[in-house]
Every structure is written in C-alpha cells, then in structure tokens.
Chain A
Amino acid sequence: MTENSIDRDIPEPYASVFGLYKGQFARIHDYRRAQTRVHPRRPGESKLVDSIHEAIVKTGLESGMTISFHHHFREGDYVMNLVMEEIDKMGIKDLTIAPSSIANVHEPLINLIEKGVVTGITASGLRDKLGAAVSHGIMDKPVVIRSHGGRARAMASGDIHIDVAFIGAPSCDAYGNINGTSGKATCGSLGYARMDARYADQVVAITDSLVPYPNTPVSIPQTDVDYVVRVDAIGNPEGIAKGATRLTKNPKELLIAEYAAKVIAATDYFKNGFSFQTGTGGASLAVTRFLRPMMEEHGLKAGFALGGITNTMVEMMEAGQVDKILDVQDFDHPSALSLARNDNHYEIDAEMYASPLSKGSVVNQLDVAILSALEVDTGFNVNVLTGSDGVIRGASGGHSDTAAACRMSMIVAPLVRGRIPTVVDRVTTVVTPGDSVDVVVTEYGVAVNPRREDLNTMLDGLDVPRLDINQLRDKAYAITGTPDPIRFKDRTVALVEYRDGSLIDAVHEV
C-alpha cells in the first residue's frame, strides 16, 4: 500500500503503474496525441455490411482486444447488448470493454464476465446489479473508473487504445456520416461517441435509420467510420430520459435549490454573461428554477450553459436567458430536438468538454458547476461512486472535471438520506478531491470550503444559514447516529482514476 496526497491507500502494483494522485493540476504536461490505424477506402468500395456478425468478422476482432460503446441512449441502449451477444456466440473471449458509461440495462454483462468473454472494464461508473457483482468480486482485474474528461484524456494520450468502437447511430448514411438528431432513437449530442470515432482503430456504425447520402448535419464523419450495419432498433427513446431528469416537488430538495440559487446570486460570478452547469439530481436541476427569477430581477443573461443538457436549459435559451448551450450529452428528448433546431445549441465532444490534457476544455471557461454527491466529508472530498454500504452504484461522470476547473463548484445534497448521513467524517470513496469543492449546500444550511476565504466574504450578509462543514456533519450524525466503518476485504475491485490519470482512490471487495 502507498498513500496518495489525500491520505488514500492505493495498493501495488496499481500505485506504480498509474501513479499516485498528487494534486489537481500536478500532472498537466505536454504529450503527443495517440495514433490510430487507418484502413483507407478506394472509390467504389462499400462500407455497408449485412449484420453485426459480418461487421465483427470484417474488423478481425479477436480475443484480448479492447472494444467500446457510447452511453448516449442511457437506460434505452440496445447496442451494447446486441453486439456482446453476437461476440459471445462467436466464441471471442478475454475482451476489455471501454464504454463511456454503463447503465442498469447492461446487466447481461454479468453473465459475460462469468463466461470469460469480458475480463476488463473501464467506464465512468457501474450501476445496480453489475456494480454489486463487481463489488462482490466477480472480476479478476479491477474496473478502472474514469471521469468523462479523464476518458477523453486517456484516449488522446493512448492510455486506452480501442481496437473496435461500436457506435449506435440514430441516423447514418451508407458511407458512415452519423448524427444523433434525426432517426428513431434520437439522443441529440454524440459528444462521447465522437471520441471513440476519432481514436479507435476501427469504427462500426450501427443504425436503425439508414438515410440517403449525405446525412447532414454530420456529427461523426465518414472519414472516421469503417463499416455500417442496419438493425431493427438501436435504442428506446423513452429510456434516454429515464430517472435523471424529473422535476422535483420534494420540499427538502426545493429548499436546497433555493439556498443554492441564493448563494450563486450573492457571488461576483453572477453577472451578465456568466456560465453554469447543472447535474441531474432533483435539487441540482431545481436550482435553475430559483435562479431564473433572480436573473430576471437583475436583468442578467447567461453566456452559456454546459453539460449534460436538460430541457430546463433549452427553455432558458429560448426565453433569451441563456445565449448558448454547449452540449456533450442530452438527458431528455426536448434537448435532443433543440440541438437540431437551434443554431446556438452546439454539440461538443468529450475532449472539448472536459479533458485536462486538451488545448483547453470548456470546463476551464465555466463559472459555476452545480453538482450532486452521495457523500461529502469534512475535508470536502466527494463520493459519487460507492454507496454507504461500500458497493459501487454510481458514476464519476464530469464531476471531478467541472469541479476542478470551474470558478465555483457547488455540491447540493440533502444532509441525510433515510438513515444515511451525506456529510461524514471520511467519504467511502473519493472521486473529487476537497481542493476542487468550494461550497456544500444542504437543507440545514451552507458550508464554504475554508480554502475559499474570498467566497466567504462574498456571502457576507446572505440570508441562508451558514455553518462550517464540521457542524453539518454533527447535525447529520445527531439524526442518524455515527456510522460504523464498512468492513472491506483485501481484494481491489475498482481503481478510481483522477482526471489526469493518477489514482485518487481504490474500491475494495465487500
């Protein structure tokens, strides 16, 4: 065991292989972009193949390789299961999968892990039954958890090399021009998939809407695509918006959102042209509801909204309260439609969104990030990955990317959830380090990171209860009792990469 700079034990050999986390910007350095193989096409050649089976055969996919998928269809994705089922039938084993994230719908992976078809996983996170299976030690090799910006960095720097990317394409022509705004299962932005298209050796587009050449607008161009397959259905549009984007009526979440909006409005960042990103939790989404009238009152417009785009941001843009939307992923159907309709709603890829090793990502221009948390500790470290029982159930997402880079990162979370305290002595797993987190907003009040004395001054006179983070923890423990530490086994089941590729934490078997 070796300890990184935030007192987290990182087991060997992983500590040596990945390197230890040493600080938010300790590993920003020059490098050469990774190379990919290109199989050029002559005039007259076709990319269209008859089946997923034929596409797999043509790519020469074999045991030991790395393949990838995107998660833009979220809980509505059919593509990963379709492709993995075919791969299993063909007897290919020992694959590493590198999807941008994994949803509940990908539970069949458990069986494929048991059969040795999948032996390595890197993703933003794991949900539900697969998360539980991994936490109970189903895999020999630990899963590598990467943030969205971290995944983009890993692809650009060659830490992940993808042999074959299978890209679900809402619409595609026979020569491989793809977009996410037309077709049957429209997911809007293809920001994560664009990385796979650029950095994978071979790219298979899988579509249920084959359209005449050329398919425009072009989100992923023909120059990045090797094969095109038509299937009956690539995804269920209903599943794309599932879960994440409900508009809350919960009074606790509304109070948190109101406090958060008041904090934002009290800072120097709240001025004409400011920018923001919201997460998908109930309270996080509701912040904009309280912010809108405050913006009106002050005659302010936002310069851009970033993210994970929801209909709320689109409504603000169409009402003239937000100039532009920079969109790496859409969380609901109206947002996907807006990308097609609105010139000021612009699709960006994951590298432009959040990579720490790009020539400047959008998060570096962001004023305010409103983020959620499963746990936050008195050192302001945040866990969005493991439940309080130690089981992997969440995803890193863009949490650490936005928190590190923006001018004010704000965690909005209830103080307790049932008997589980949110503000604790020490989070189960660190995804975002305390150095990146500026304000914690709960229904009991707001705690500012002591590192941000300037922010404390900005909030002087604010009519929101102000506490220090230890007081918030004390209030939480007074309700729930002090939790006993979780007993983990020795085996490492997941490695949590910081966005720069160093290890910020490790998750052990339960």
Chain B
Amino acid sequence: MNITHPASAGSLESSDIIVTLKPARQGIRIDLESSVKEQFGAQIEKLISQTLEELGIDAAEVQAQDQGALDCTIKARTLVAAYRAADREDYDWEGINSWIG
C-alpha cells in the first residue's frame, strides 16, 4: 500500500486518537503527542509502526494526537488513515483479521 496524499482518522475525544499520515520518501517517522506519553509513548509508536508495516507501508510521516486511546483504537485509526491516504476502500477484512489481533 502506498500513501499518495495526507489523510486522517480519529477524533480528539478522550480515549481516542487522531492519526494523520502524509507521504514521505522513505522510512516511518512518528510525531506523537499523548496524554499518556510518559507511560505508553514508546508502546503507542511501536504499535503504529507495526500496523503500517502489516499494511506494507514503508514510508510515511505520521502525526498522532492521542487522548489515552487503547491499543484496539490505535490500530483501527491507523488502519483507516492508511486506507484513506492510499485512496483505497477495498478493505481485506480476512487479511486484516489475520494480523490485527
């Protein structure tokens, strides 16, 4: 999957996260703001990276504003932002289910 333009998913409600993906030349760069950054920042960044990796995205600039979202929410928002940024709607649910846990 390739990111062709900027796109976001999520909200600023508590327990949610907004994930914004932008095209990049190479590598994943994550800029995370989080109300729980001290305790969970590293885990959240890792989760976003892993989700993008599973989608076959190896270049993206990621902005994430987190309000204490749980892992399931972070994965869902990252996934949807990626599909939107790649202009794809052909969600492969079975494929996604196999790794999203």
Contacts and interface: CB of A to CB of B under 8 A. Distances in A.
Interface string A477-506: 001110111110000000000000000000
Given A418-B14, A418-B15, A419-B15, A486 B38 contact: yes
Contacts, number: 42
A484 B42 CA distance: 9
A484 B38 contact: yes
Contact of B38 (A388, A418, A480, A481): A388
Contacts of B35: 389, 418
Interface-central residue, B36, B39, B40, B41, by most chain A CB under 10 Å: B39
B63 to A, nearest CB: 19
A62 to B, nearest CB: 42
- Pick the 8 closest A-B CB pairs, nearest first: A418-B68, A483-B39, A419-B68, A389-B38, A486-B38, A418-B15, A419-B36, A484-B39
A426 to B, nearest CB: 13
A420 interface: yes
Interface residues of B, number: 15
Interface in B22-52: 35-36, 38-43
A487 B39 CA distance: 9
A279 interface: no
Nearest to A485: B39
Contacts of B96: none
A420 B38 contact: no
Contacts of A485: 39
Interface of A: 388-390, 418-420, 479-481, 483-487
A327 to B, nearest CB: 35
Nearest to A417: B68
B40 A480 contact: yes
Contact of A484 (B40, B69, B70): B40
Contacts of A481: 40, 43, 71
A486 B41 CA distance: 11
Contact of B68 (A420, A484, A487): A420
Nearest to A418: B68
Nearest to A416: B70
Contact of B70 (A390, A419, A483): A419
Interface in B50-93: 67-71
B15 A486 contact: no
B11 to A, nearest CB: 14
A204 to B, nearest CB: 42
Contacts of A420: 36, 39, 68
A420 B41 CA distance: 12
A258 to B, nearest CB: 24
A499 to B, nearest CB: 29
